[in-house]
Chain A
Amino acid sequence: MRAITKRFPGVLALSNVNFDVRRGEVHALVGENGAGKSTLMKIVAGVYTRDEGEMFFKGQPAAFTNPRQAQNAGITTIYQELNLIPQLSITENIFLGSEIQRGALLNWPRMHEQARALLAKLHLDVDPRRLVGTLGVAQQQMVEVAKALHHKSDLIIMDEPTSALSVREIEDLFDIIRELKASGVSIVYISHHLEENFVISDRITVLRDGMHVATRPTSALNIDTLIRLMVGRDLSEKFPKENIARGAEVLRVENLNQGSRLRDINFSVHAGEVLGIAGLVGAGRTELVRALFGADMIDSGKFFIDGREVIIRSPRDAIRHGLGLLTEDRKQQGLFLKLTMRENITMAVLKALTRGPFTSRTKETALAARFIDAIAIKTAGQNQLVMNLSGGNQQKVVLSKWLATEPRVLIFDEPTRGIDVGAKVEIYRLINALARQGVAIIMVSSELPEVLGMSDRIMVMSGGRVTGFLSRDEATEEKIMEYATAADKTFAPAVSQESAVL
């Protein structure tokens, strides 16, 4: 690809970007959110068309105007959110759009047979007639890879393939990538986990603000250089943790049970403390904080605030008792994208901002201005629609909404997911500031460095149980992983999001 330029309304998404992938190479593409990685790859895959520049595929000029063309030419993209149909079988998914027929009828035996061969190649030992929805995330990803192999792809683009995988599953994926590589398939690898790029890639290209910064062999780079190239400045501290004296106990949870998802959970958080909750996908971390917040029903369990038992049956109860929850999925569960910043920030405390039966614009404006100022939200004004803000600023809007309720306990579920490196540090500083003011903080995170870097104490979960506590001093990645895989034998089936109340 040469001198690719892409403009979106008001934004120059890519400016004169050069990029090339060699046959049989794993090429990592890195950059902060908004650097243009996804845009570039979507141009390759035919989702977007470029405004300027040239593209060549296997030596031929190429211009795909839709994903289908790119796929037929041999380019497959495996997106973060998998593009499989859970209600169909593995075979049906693999052959979707390219079914083998005998006359007017589908030739099931041949399709199953070919599907089985593809799965065998990927060391995936499952019946191709199984419904995709019954597979785990890692296996679903393998089905995507199988689909790519079926289309005889020469180039596979993997966009955040490991975001939902456990350490072991990531190893398996890497083995497959190495095999694909050996058979001459090229791979573009996009991952927020910088360490992974060093393990798997041959070369690394860095994008920043839509511009090409560098392309270097992986062996010529180290993680600090890479971060410097990505952010264009030194990150003095990735995790600006402050030591804050631990105060009195604010929240205590006793014997919390919820079906097979949560079993016998006991823990407490103190004022000024950051309690990190670590664990693999399906360990029950999100289920725990949702249950705590009253978003899902529980079977049994007691909650104590300041030592007094409280009943929490709904988010309303939770808020009344001083809890706040920043959900892992901001857009789906936290924000009102079509409403303004002011309306978002005041949503949870609107009751207090009234004059007689009417909402008070004056009070609302004052409150919103206070938080926009206090936590430095970059905005064109309070009337800006939240959908037009960047990920970091959206997270700050959600945070403001909760700060307005003056919470005693603030729960962050994946606080920095989808937020670029610079903004992450800002979020960490805000967490520090809150702890300093005596707020008890619960932080669920899948990023071990974040848990290790920001927590005073770490609670590790596995299979719906708490398998261990680690103090800040004794915690290491290895110890966390040891606890996180502790209950593997009694592993409860992962429960999908659909079965939740909300």
Chain B
Amino acid sequence: MISETAVEAARPAAQARRTASRLLAALGPLLVLLVMFVFLWITSPPFRTPTSLLLIGLEAAAIGVVAAGQTFVILTGGIDLSVEAMVSFSGVVAAILIAGTNIAGGQIAFGVPSVVAIAVALSAGLAIGMFQGTIITAFSMNPLIVTLGFRSILLGISLVATRGAGINIQRDEFLAFITGSIDVGSLRIPMPLIIALAIYALIWVVLRHTKFGRYTYAIGGNETAARLSGINVNVVKIFIYGISGLLASVGGILVMGRLVSGAYQNGTNMTLISVAAVVIGGTALTGGVGGIWGTLIGVFIIRIVEAGLVYLNVPSNAKEIVIGAIIVLAVMLDVIRRGEVKWLRFRRRPAL
């Protein structure tokens, strides 16, 4: 439609507008976060304490890691609904190994060290994720259905293995370390937050500076073209679901370590929140567009809203209503921003 001469003439203006809109898309969520932060800072004295801020950081860590995996999957145009079950499952697996509880319920004297237990749980998460990816690619199945099925399977296993109760454990040195904190000056920085941030930095490098990252965007942008460009789409996708499973397991360990208990409820709601965080962070549900830092911002937005509700004395039972509304709102903003809602498309003034 656009003739070449016209493109030539309109270039600087169009380029500037594109840069501006991209900047807005990137900074929008950050602005929202800042506004909410400032609002709470002013209205709620208890919010201002370092402890409360670090608590938000700590609470953001586990879900943040889970959402990071979800970002990968959504970037390829898929979705992983099994993450919350994976959080529970990995916690239960590790807890059983550490506590040495057998299925019959009696305690065995010797559990394994937490390092070993965690390694097993993470490997299981990676393997199950890759297995889901294999099913999705080999049979061209809808990831929605496959991961929904695995959500049920994994929750079921967790429920059976724990017989509905939590498996309580003692923290050993390693577990105490990864769930503890480090003192930086007068601040106690929670270790899970550091782990989460390290994972985000690593993922940023992978997405921006490796073949694997480029292929992730390529598959989300145009899977057919990716295949015809010689990219082994199936292998990339299998690893994508593997990463999601692995990171959900890491999240599961962080939750389990904090609660000192592996229970099937450990991951409750995390699927919804992880998807919401990804979308709030500006990653398109259709795939191919977005990034990892947006997800981190999305996670903090959700956590601050939750904290805000507490500080503003909203009954905790009403929390779900607000979270649900935010998610619908975020997706709405997403489609509007992309100009997919015709009657809301911004009247564009001619640039000439």
Contacts and interface: CB of A to CB of B under 8 A. Distances in A.
Q: Do A and B come from one complex?
A: yes
Interface of A: 7-13, 32-35, 38-39, 51, 209-210, 293, 295, 315-316, 318-320, 325, 327, 332-339, 343, 347-348, 350-351, 354, 357-359, 378, 380, 385, 388-390, 392-393, 401, 405, 502
Contact of A502 (B5, B13, B224): B224
Contacts of B18: 385, 388
A33 B289 CA distance: 29
B8 A338 contact: no
Contact of B214 (A39, A359, A389): A359
A327 B351 CA distance: 35
B3 A335 contact: no
B221 A12 contact: no
B163 to A, nearest CB: 45
Contacts, number: 136
Interface in B194-250: 205, 209-211, 214-215, 217-218, 221-222, 224-232
Q: Taking each of B2, B3, B224, B288, which has the highest tally of chain A beta carbons within 10 Å of its own beta carbon? A: B3
Contacts of A347: 214, 218, 226, 229, 231
A35 B11 contact: no
Given A319-B230, A339-B218, A354-B211, A13 B1 contact: yes
Contacts of A8: 1-2, 348
Interface string B2-31: 111111111101110110000000000000
Contact of A9 (B17, B221, B231): B17
A383 to B, nearest CB: 9
8 pairs of A and B residues whose beta carbons are closest in the complex:
A10-B10, A34-B3, A319-B230, A7-B350, A10-B14, A336-B221, A11-B6, A358-B209
B8 A209 contact: no
Contacts of B5: 209
Contacts of A348: 229-230
Contact of B6 (A10, A318, A358): A10
Nearest to A422: B4
B229 A401 contact: yes
A339 B221 contact: yes
Interface of B: 1-11, 13-15, 17-18, 205, 209-211, 214-215, 217-218, 221-222, 224-232, 288-289, 348, 350-352
Contact of B2 (A295, A350, A390): A390
A389 B14 CA distance: 12
Contacts of A209: 3, 5-6
A388 B11 CA distance: 10
Prevailing SS type, chain B contact patch: helix
Given A347-B218, A358-B209, A12 B2 contact: no
B229 A34 contact: no
A357 B210 contact: yes
A358 B210 contact: yes
Contact of A12 (B13, B17, B218, B350): B350
Nearest to B350: A7
Given A34-B6, A385-B18, 9 more contacts: A32-B3, A35-B3, A316-B231, A338-B217, A338-B221, A338-B289, A339-B218, A350-B214, A358-B209
Given A336-B221, A338-B289, A350-B214, A502 B228 contact: yes
B206 to A, nearest CB: 9
B211 A350 contact: yes
24 contacts: A9-B10, A9-B17, A10-B10, A10-B13, A11-B7, A12-B6, A32-B3, A51-B350, A209-B6, A315-B230, A319-B229, A319-B230, A320-B230, A332-B224, A332-B225, A334-B228, A336-B225, A339-B218, A357-B210, A358-B205, A380-B15, A388-B18, A401-B229, A502-B228
Given A12-B350, A327-B228, A348-B230, A359 B209 contact: yes
A359 B227 contact: no
B6 A351 contact: no
Nearest to A326: B228
A10 to B, nearest CB: 3
Contact of A293 (B8, B225, B228): B228
A338 B283 CA distance: 13
A332 B209 CA distance: 26
A319 B229 CA distance: 8
Nearest to B211: A350
